[in-house]
Amino acid sequence: MKHMLKAAALVLGLAAPASADPLAKDVFGAFRTPSQGPAVSIGFYSQGCAQGMVQMPESGPSWQSMRLSRDRHWGHPVMIDFLQGLSRAAQQAGWQGLYIGDISQPRGGPMTSGHASHQIGLDADIWMLPPPSLTLSRQQRENISSVSVVASGGLGLSQHWNTGHFQIMRAAARDPRVERLLVDPVAKVAMCQMETGDRSWLRKVRPINNHDHHFHIRLSCPQGSICRTQDPPPPGDGCAEAQEWINNRANPSRAPAATPDPDYRHPRTYRMSELPQQCQIVATSP
């Protein structure tokens, strides 16, 4: 209740009289409970919030939620159902299950640290570490770290890669609810080489840096939600593009010069007025 009152006061400008338009990260980062009402994802993955979120259980027969102190294991019910199903697919791939990283805050919104996305309950991080145990204590889950499937230098796979990674990510990308799967280009190229049948799912797998210790799942907007749609991936399987990322790592001088977006701002700088109007309701409702 104390956290709820604090967040509501921030929205109303009572906690910070000098600013009637507080930073959204301060408002949404203060909540410890979800808002009531049906589950609704609102806005965009990096500029929104969510109503009626549910919490991923700390442990289950095929998963454990990690870094519990962060309180970022809340998601749209469709996401929670997806993650539990993917953890069962991990068992079929020979793992004990999955270690689940960040999803969203109790009411979504910009976070006080870290992610730009994960704001509407439809993004989740899955550790690359095959679980050595599904009975870790809360403290053990704070201390244990994932592993990188990319070798030093960023040009090839590390000794931690196994066929389970391929099978689990393929199962995820084949799920019609999945909009994107973000992973290091080295892992994508490996999956391109391993797939000998239908390659259509590879289009969803998008190369991105800093995703070698985990892969990132993004779901499409569920029925009943009010999300802004992301542009679809380019046509084709994207394998040549991922290889180009690796080639540019090997020869940085030949990589095209990056053109920074002069209008880009990290979501931690967004104020409440910059989120969808429905987020004001989410932030002030019980």
Kindly report, residue by residue over 107-147, the tens digit of the pLDDT: 999 999 999 999 999 999 999 999 999 999 999 999 999 99
State the pTM of this model.
0.92
Residue 168: both structure tokens together: 């689990």
- Determine the pLDDT at residue 201: 98
Is residue 64 a contact partner of residue 78, using CB atoms and an 8 Å limit?
Answer: no
User: Which of 281, 222, 261 has the alpha carbon at shortest distance from 40?
Assistant: 222
Q: Parse the chain into domains and list their residue ranges.
A: 2-249+270-279
User: Which of 4, 3, 75, 71 has the alpha carbon at shortest distance from 39?
Assistant: 75
Is residue 166 a contact partner of residue 191, using CB atoms and an 8 Å limit?
Answer: yes
- Determine the pLDDT at residue 19: 62
Edge-first strand order for the sheet with 40-44 is 47-51, 40-44, 226-227
- Determine the pLDDT at residue 132: 97
- Determine the pLDDT at residue 48: 98
- Quick count: other Cβ atoms within 10 Å of Cβ 133? 11
User: Which of 196, 198, 190 has the alpha carbon at shortest distance from 174?
Assistant: 198
Helix axes 185-194, 163-174, angle to 10 degrees: 90
- Determine the pLDDT at residue 1: 47
Segments of the chain with pLDDT less than 50 = 1-6, 8-9, 12-16, 18
- Determine the pLDDT at residue 260: 83
CATH of the domain spanning 2-249+270-279: 3.30.1380.10
